[in-house]
A and B are shown apart, each in its own frame.
Chain A
Amino acid sequence: MELLSGGEMIAKALEDEGVEYIFGYPGGAVLHIYDALFKTCKVPHVLVRHEQAATHAADGYARATGKPGVVLVTSGPGATNAITGIATAYMDSIPMVVLSGQVATHLIGEDAFQETDMVGISRPIVKHSFMVRHAEDIPATIKKAFHIATTGRPGPVVIDIPKDCTRPDAKFEYHYPDNVKLRSYAPAQRGHTGQIRKAAKLLLSAKRPVIYAGGGVILGESSELLTTLARKLNYPVTNTLMGLGAYPATDRQFLGMLGMHGFYEANMAMHHSDVILAVGARFDDRVTNTVSRFCPGAKIIHIDIDPTSISKTVAADIPIVGPVQSVLEDLLEIIGSLQEKDSQQPDTGALGRWWQQIEEWRAKHGLWTGRRYGESDRIMPQQVIESLYRVTGGDAYVTSDVGQHQMFAAQYYKFDKPRRWINSGGLGTMGFGLPAAMGVKLAFPDMDVACVTGEGSIQMNIQELSTCKQYSTPIKIINLRNNYLGMVKQWQDMQYEGRYAMSTYEDSLPDFVKLVESYGHVGIQVTRLDELDQRMEEAFAMKDRLVFLDIFIDPMEHVYPMHVAPNGAMKDMWLSKNERT
């Protein structure tokens, strides 16, 4: 058995865990670990420019690959800078392991230099956390952390490591465990068969069904099963913001995204449905609008790996706790046998009328069936996303920041595959897009990776342009520039009589073209609609360069549809500035 120091055990354990990238930033408390990485570790390390970006890059990597992202930061400010990224991953259930340095054990509690209580600070935003007390516990702790981060409902796990536990002169026998057993942690492996049978019967008896699928379908690698189920039954499907790509967007049965900025036909179908099959979705307030007015005629079947997601906001009639994959497999099998043996079939007459109604909604206000945005001599933001979709053949990885551009990307880029749409849905973290795109590009260097952003969000982590240079991550940044914090401005237009309280930068924005050029990248300004496609093509033709497209859009455009609030139901939407349901 090898004798290794604490620092070396960390390096070796990450190798043994099959980690592909470590995103991090060195500092005093982790210098022993960094020295061990430098001397022995085969896992490449990506030096970011701010620890928040390390967490977002690891997060983007995790969302695109399905594997856990790994972050290494120092104590104190290194740890606190990572917090926003950990919270982002937690809200969207992204597997991540964060190793944070800590001051030496004998200094803990003495307000030592760069000391902060990382386990305490991160407690509400982690799935679990560990504080290493003895160096010999390091391999087992790392194994447990990866196990917890990646199983059940995934999430971030923090391991706080005091500096003395990594010192090079104390060596221990190293053994990386093959598996781990925790007596108090056992996520459900299967759904309850009786419940699944009830769900199957209810589904087959539905007259106005909707399948409402969320990020859990993607996390649970169940897009194909979901598609099989939906096609078998010929039921309409809507995806949440986190679920986009879980069902192919270009499929006839897809109604688009639902919720606050969801499609008219998706929100209408939900409101008027009699049976909702919720799969890996959590009835978020951005989906339901007013809970007491949510889908009044619907019976709800709710499949989720996490029991706390069930009946948290909207009560489920048939709750099913289990992994989406195995539950959908069982559901398909039971539906199959009900159809064969008991010849229970969907009510094709009712279903035909339901589809007819949906097609009417779609024809009336569908975002993809006609031009649903205003005419302007300026470039409309929706046109930029449509251009991006055309130029990338609908096959790019698209990350986004948070705001209007995020909603336009979600609405107009038709994601046919899971894991292609990468955004901070739960926490809504501005500054997520650029570092996340770095993580994605490192995972898939041959794929097109676009970061759709705005000039507010991009400036929150713009320092990562330097990291992109160092590690050659030629992503394409699509900046929808309107000189406002667009979503804030939209709310100020709609609810504050157009008082733009601190939502404009006036003349203070940098010349983004010059800025990115100074980092060694390519910047292109686009101001006319007739040059949009050409510039987009030029950008994506430069395979080995990071290109920043600074696209001047109509600053007055709003995102529609938009739920009417407060006290609105799913069906209550603004469809344009002066038109509502």
Chain B
Amino acid sequence: MRRIISILLENEPGALSRVIGLFSQRGYNIETLNVAPTEDLTLSRLTLTTTGDDKTMEQITKQLNKLVDVVKLVDLSEGAHIERDLMLIKVRASGAMRDEIKRTTDIFRGQIVDVGPNTYTIQLTGTGEKLDSFVAAMAEADILEVVRSGVAGISRGEKVLRL
């Protein structure tokens, strides 16, 4: 089952490698990974998506919590939450495809953020599923490049992950 784990991590050199190393060392999957500083400069917020059965997930969260650099951790997928992935996708846009791509982008509420004589660069945010659907919808087009931020997530309502 797919899970979204969000971590407050000490903003220290080597902290990220401990998290990543744990996953490879113990044979867990990481599907997406997103990390950046927070408003508190001593902390980074790391969001990762992974898959595993309940027993594996229990071990993953316990093992992560055991890392000295992990300050706090939450499994966002246990409750109501918002998840967003940002995608920048560059496609060949010429001839009849140019209009078609524009229409599809509008349907998905994406934005064309860079225009070249023969290319469009489209920005799209949403769940991973929505981005996957957009890529699928672009099957006819010539996709030149895809870059995704990985999932960032936050709980809905009053629930917060902070010190």
Binding site for B on A (CB under 8 A): 119-120, 123-124, 127-129, 131, 133, 148, 182-185, 306-308, 311-312, 315
Set B18, B62, B72, B163: member contacting A307, Cβ < 8 A? B62
What CA separation (Å) do A185 and B10 show in the bound complex?
A: 11
What CA separation (Å) do A315 and B53 show in the bound complex?
A: 14
What CA separation (Å) do A399 and B152 show in the bound complex?
A: 52
Looking at chain B's contact residues, is the secondary structure mostly helix, strand, loop, or mixed? helix
What CA separation (Å) do A308 and B71 show in the bound complex?
A: 17
Q: Contact at A306–B66, with CB atoms within 8 Å?
A: yes
Q: Contact at B59–A308, with CB atoms within 8 Å?
A: yes
Set A120, A184, A315: member contacting B68, Cβ < 8 A? A184
Q: Contact at B17–A131, with CB atoms within 8 Å?
A: no
Q: Contact at A120–B17, with CB atoms within 8 Å?
A: yes
Chain A positions within 8 Å of B66 at CB level: 306-308
What CA separation (Å) do A184 and B62 show in the bound complex?
A: 14
What CA separation (Å) do A131 and B62 show in the bound complex?
A: 25
Q: Contact at B71–A183, with CB atoms within 8 Å?
A: yes
Q: Contact at A183–B17, with CB atoms within 8 Å?
A: no
Contact of B21 with A by CB under 8 A: yes
What CA separation (Å) do A133 and B72 show in the bound complex?
A: 25
Chain A positions within 8 Å of B25 at CB level: 124
Interface residues on B, range: 20 to 34
What CA separation (Å) do A82 and B69 show in the bound complex?
A: 24
Q: Contact at A307–B13, with CB atoms within 8 Å?
A: no
8 A Cβ contacts from B32-67 to A: 55, 58-59, 62-63, 65-66
What CA separation (Å) do A33 and B13 show in the bound complex?
A: 24
Q: In the complex, how many angstroms separate the beta carbon of A2 from the nearest chain B beta carbon?
A: 28
Going nearest first, the 5 A-B pairs with the smallest beta carbon separation are A184-B71, A308-B62, A128-B68, A124-B25, A307-B62
- Given A183-B163, A307-B62, A308-B59, does the pair A131, B13 have CB atoms closer than 8 Å? yes
Q: Contact at B70–A184, with CB atoms within 8 Å?
A: yes
Q: In the complex, how many angstroms separate the beta carbon of A154 from the nearest chain B beta carbon?
A: 13
Chain B positions within 8 Å of A127 at CB level: 68
Contact of B14 with A by CB under 8 A: yes
Q: In the complex, how many angstroms separate the beta carbon of A87 from the nearest chain B beta carbon?
A: 12
Chain B positions within 8 Å of A128 at CB level: 68
Q: In the complex, how many angstroms separate the beta carbon of A383 from the nearest chain B beta carbon?
A: 43
What CA separation (Å) do A129 and B12 show in the bound complex?
A: 12
- Given A308-B59, A308-B63, does the pair A185, B18 have CB atoms closer than 8 Å? no
Q: Which residue of A lies closest to B163 (CB)?
A: A183
Chain B positions within 8 Å of A307 at CB level: 62, 65-66
What CA separation (Å) do A124 and B22 show in the bound complex?
A: 7
Chain A positions within 8 Å of B63 at CB level: 308
Q: Contact at A123–B55, with CB atoms within 8 Å?
A: no
Q: In the complex, how many angstroms separate the beta carbon of A463 from the nearest chain B beta carbon?
A: 32
Q: Contact at A119–B70, with CB atoms within 8 Å?
A: no
Q: Contact at A119–B68, with CB atoms within 8 Å?
A: no
Beyond A119-B14, A133-B13, A307-B66: 19 further Cβ-contacts under 8 Å?
A: A123-B14, A123-B18, A124-B21, A124-B25, A127-B68, A129-B14, A131-B14, A182-B68, A183-B71, A183-B163, A184-B70, A184-B72, A185-B68, A306-B66, A307-B65, A308-B59, A308-B62, A311-B58, A312-B59
What CA separation (Å) do A148 and B68 show in the bound complex?
A: 9
Q: In the complex, how many angstroms separate the beta carbon of A219 from the nearest chain B beta carbon?
A: 16
Q: In the complex, how many angstroms separate the beta carbon of A124 from the nearest chain B beta carbon?
A: 5
What CA separation (Å) do A307 and B69 show in the bound complex?
A: 17
Interface string of B70-84 (1 = CB under 8 A from A): 111000000000000
8 A Cβ contacts from B12-31 to A: 13-14, 17-18, 21, 25
What CA separation (Å) do A131 and B15 show in the bound complex?
A: 11
Chain B positions within 8 Å of A133 at CB level: 13
Chain A positions within 8 Å of B71 at CB level: 183-184
What CA separation (Å) do A308 and B62 show in the bound complex?
A: 6
Chain B positions within 8 Å of A183 at CB level: 71, 163
Q: Which residue of B lies closest to A321 (CB)?
A: B62
What CA separation (Å) do A133 and B13 show in the bound complex?
A: 10
Q: In the complex, how many angstroms separate the beta carbon of B77 from the nearest chain A beta carbon?
A: 20
Chain B positions within 8 Å of A312 at CB level: 59
Chain A positions within 8 Å of B21 at CB level: 123-124
What CA separation (Å) do A385 and B14 show in the bound complex?
A: 47
Most buried by A among B13, B66, B163: B66
Chain B positions within 8 Å of A129 at CB level: 14
What CA separation (Å) do A129 and B68 show in the bound complex?
A: 9
What CA separation (Å) do A460 and B62 show in the bound complex?
A: 37
What CA separation (Å) do A306 and B71 show in the bound complex?
A: 17
Q: Which residue of A lies closest to B10 (CB)?
A: A184
Chain A positions within 8 Å of B17 at CB level: 120, 123
Set A124, A148, A311: member contacting B55, Cβ < 8 A? A311
Q: Which residue of B lies closest to A152 (CB)?
A: B66
What CA separation (Å) do A404 and B68 show in the bound complex?
A: 38
Q: Which residue of B lies closest to A315 (CB)?
A: B55
Q: Which residue of A lies closest to B55 (CB)?
A: A311
Chain B positions within 8 Å of A148 at CB level: 68
